[in-house]
Amino acid sequence: MNRPLPIFIVLAFGLSWAVALPLWLGGGLGSPLLTLLASVMMFTPTAAVLGVWAVTRTPAKGWARQTGLTLGERRKRTGLLVLAAWLGVPLLAFLAMGLSAAVGLVSLDLDRLSLLRAALQARGMEIPGDLGTVAALQIVVAIVAGPLLNAIPALGEEWGWRGWLLPRLTSANGMLAGLLLSGAIWGVWHAPLTLLGYNYPRLGSWAALFFIGFCVLAGVLIGWLRLRTGSVWPAVVAHGSLNAVVPPVLLLGDAAAPPNELLVGLTGLVGWVVLALAGAALLRFFPVRQEPAGRTPPVTAGPQTSASGAHHDSAE
């Protein structure tokens, strides 16, 4: 096995299953090791990148550029898209939750915050007198500090999926196909957790299949950030924000009629529609140019480029 792609896939997937094995041997998602093991699992794509690097023996500076660790050729654009990811992901999360409520798929309880109260009680935490302030602070911290707090584990995934893998898939398969394929691989990689019902507990093992759909659509947006800038850092911010913001937004629901995670919020079917429309808009109006494998793809295409032609552009 001397080709980089199979080496990367075997390492990323093999190590993820090895890390999650204690959950399968006992406890499942109820194991006290869940949070720790899920966090460690996020670094297995980085381990795969390092494994490929060891085989290819690429100089460090060239490897950093190829895998997006630099800020790309247009640093101002990268900075602007870091900010756009920082604010845009929460906007999409609130939009998906608002649309879910507007079409009657979820009841919001902004007055009593009963679902947040129930979640705190389930953790054995004392309920504060001013629960509204707690909810507001929780969301503000998730928006403002979430990308920073989650930056290291998000990089653990993004250096692999978007930093190394995505440019190679787009070069070999075309822009749109590469984006969709990378998202699908990202989704399947979560199987050690999603087969246990992670993210969609009411589906049981079918959660593994359902989560692939979310990862494909979210992967288009996150992948576009990487390809548009030639840098992995906007993707890291988007991934970190996604992990931080989605849970507290869902807790705005009503405990008497808890949100159906299959339908509501950014990870539900309503969110899929929001992600699909956002991804289609970015690919149509802000395409990127496809680059040969192993090169950084930061340069935008001309206005004649389409989202499906040869020169165009994901939780844990």
Instruction: Return the top range by mean pLDDT from 14-23, 126-135, 284-293.
Output: 14-23
220, two tokens: 């288009």
**How many residues are listed for the chain in this entry?**
316
| pLDDT for the residue 125 | 84
Separation between Cα atoms, residue 111 and residue 288, nearest integer Å: 45
Range name among 24-38, 58-72, 297-311 with the lowest pLDDT average: 297-311
Per-residue confidence (pLDDT) for residue 310, from 0 to 100: 31
For residues 108 and 255, give the distance between their C-alpha atoms in angstroms, rounded to a whole number.
9
The structural domains of the chain, with segments of one domain joined by +, span 73-286
293 pLDDT exceeds 80?
no
The pLDDT of residue 20:
97
Calculate mean pLDDT across residues 3-22.
96
Q: Tell me: pLDDT of 251 over 50.
A: yes
pLDDT at residue 78 greater than cutoff 60: yes
| Entry pTM | 0.89
Dist. CA 10–CA 162, nearest whole Å: 17
Contact assessment for residue 181 and residue 169, using Cβ atoms and an 8 Å cutoff: yes
Amino acid sitting at position 27: G
pLDDT value of position 290: 61
For the segment 34-40, the average pLDDT, to the nearest whole number, is: 96
pLDDT of residue 127: 84
